[in-house]
Amino acid sequence: MKLFVISDNVDTQTGMRLAGTEGVVVHEREEFEKAVQDALGDKEIGVLLITEKLAQEFSETVSELKMSVSLPLVVEIPDRHGTGRAPDSITSYVKEAIGVKI
């Protein structure tokens, strides 16, 4: 299985490509949805990486994708500017999900 990245900027896509991960750069909804459909059509792709900015911009599409397909696994990644999440986002996510503060 291979990874594939859908990015909103060339720098992130270039960095991922240097690490051996192919991908595309998109800016418009139509480009994003086409890239997602192409990734779903490639049965070799096991993990679909989407930059956080795109995941936020097209959140309804990403949420639907996460809920409807088991493969590829959809993972949101920070871009070159870093993460848009709060510093304790994982801790608060765990607390919210299972009710335990870690």
CATH topology assigned to domain 2-98:
Rossmann fold (3.40.50)
Whole-model pTM?
Answer: 0.77
Confidence of residue 97 (pLDDT cuts 50, 70, 90): low
Whether the pLDDT of residue 94 is over 90: the answer is no
Task: Give me the percent of the chain exceeding a pLDDT of 70.
Answer: 77
pLDDT per residue over 25-58, tens digit each? Answer: 999 999 999 999 999 999 999 999 999 999 989 9
- Enumerate the H helices of the chain as residue ranges: 10-18, 29-41, 52-57, 59-68, 89-98
Q: What residue spans define the domains of the chain?
A: 2-98
